[in-house]
Amino acid sequence: MYDDAEVCANVNCEFFKSIQLVARPTSKSNNYSAYSEKFRNYIYEFLYGDKSAYEVLKKINDISKFYYLSTDRSETSIGLIIIILFIILSLIMIFSLKYLYIDKYKPYFMFIPGDMWILSVFGCIVIMSTCLTGLGEVTLSKCQLKWLTLPIGFTLSMIPVFGRLISNFPANNGISRWVGNNKYLFLSAFIFLDLLLYSISFKIPYEIESKLIDDGQNYQKCHTTKYGKIMVYSIIISKAIIILCILFLTFIEWNMEETRSDIRYLSVALYIDIISLGILISVNIMDLNSYIVYYGVPDFIYLFFALTNYIFLYGFRIFKALTRKENEDDLFMKNFRKNTASNGNVYLMNSSSNTKFGTNSYSNSSSSKDLQNPLSSKILTFHYRKNTNDTSDFSTISTTQLNSTSNYY
């Protein structure tokens, strides 16, 4: 219009052409030049290309928009699915605690006391709640909260079992006695350790980093500062040590008649935990261009992590109680009493697959290397031990219960 001769005869066209009446949206991006170039290119795709107005306007909006998972299904339903799964699984775990107080099912929960089971199941729910930090806009508080709920949940879920394994150690020692008689103090020590490691970073451990995707959907993520890395590495190392200790104790107590089933299910839970933690670390390290993968995969891992812990620590007991028949209970209890008639025995398998019993002796077919290594010999002796005396608070099994309970598994 300002190049029209008739208009310019009445208006100072050069003046109006020299000023910009609409302010440039410089606040849209830290790099306005790049933003402007993309904006113009997308407009050209509509003017001179085959792109629709809807497609182009969405691309223009995506230049400065940051995506995240939410309950709004306009972009994706994953956020809503995560919320629904969290609520359903939490309710199942909470209502399943009723079996602790039904006489018929009590013999199946003798591995640790009822209050420890409640804390363990609650720990699984706390682990699941970590998925909520991946929903909604990214904030510093959510970045920090993730590394509080996950360690605390793991502690509540696993430490009661860890304490039971320590108190059930085949050799009589002061540590086992102390842990067995101070279960709450033992658990509190690990919770205190989690809080201490969480507070090890006195400065802000996270920064919000913007991940810009060309022709894609931008998102923001938690970037760990050097102070935050100290905290994260400390927590990971502490949990790795706990897992290794539990694995060692499961090997030591692998053949204990009283806890054989518990040990095997616990081992499965631990290996799944290791795989889950490995996937979580990998996702945080990888440079992903999809906000759905970056947020969704960890959230589902948190749910899977908690669910498998619940199933292999607690849930399988309910299933066994519901599926076991009365005649199977009688036969199983009879065999159980027969196998646990003498405490402190050890059985060792020799090369000809014969079973021998003893206290600290090995068959003649044992390798000379094992005989020359007292530590490995002692570990193997513990590994093959079938029974142990246990009167700690972590154990709810007693001679009276064994004699009076016919369906103890």
Helical pair 260-285 and 291-310, crossing angle rounded to 10 deg? 170
For residues 252 and 383, the answer to whether their CB atoms sit within 8 Å is yes
3-class DSSP state for residue 43? helix
List pLDDT tens digits, range 46-105: 999 888 999 899 888 888 888 999 888 877 889 999 999 999 999 999 999 999 998 888
List pLDDT tens digits, range 279-312: 888 888 888 888 899 999 999 999 999 999 999 9
* Residue 325 banded pLDDT, cuts 50, 70, 90: low
Write the single-letter amino acid at 30. Answer: N
How far, in whole angstroms, is CA 110 from its chain's centroid?
A: 25
Looking at 97-106, 198-207, 214-223, which range is the least confident one?
198-207
For residues 268 and 312, the answer to whether their CB atoms sit within 8 Å is yes
Q: Count Cβ neighbours within 10 Å for each residue of 174-206 and write b for 16 or more, e otherwise.
A: eebeebbebbeebbeebeebbeebbebbeeebb
pLDDT value for 242: 94
Q: Give the count of beta carbons closer than 10 Å to the beta carbon of residue 362.
A: 18
* Residue 327 banded pLDDT, cuts 50, 70, 90: low
Class of domain 68-326: mainly alpha
List pLDDT tens digits, range 111-142: 999 999 999 999 999 999 999 998 989 888 88
pLDDT value for 373: 62
For residues 224 and 205, the answer to whether their CB atoms sit within 8 Å is yes
List pLDDT tens digits, range 218-271: 898 888 888 788 888 899 999 999 999 999 999 988 888 888 888 999 999 999
Tell me which of 393 and 248 has the higher pLDDT: 248
Does the predicted TM-score (pTM) go above 0.85? no
| Domain locations along the chain | 19-64, 68-326, 333-404
List pLDDT tens digits, range 345-381: 333 333 333 333 333 333 444 444 444 567 778 788 8
Which phi and psi angles does 357 have, rounded to 5°? -110, 145
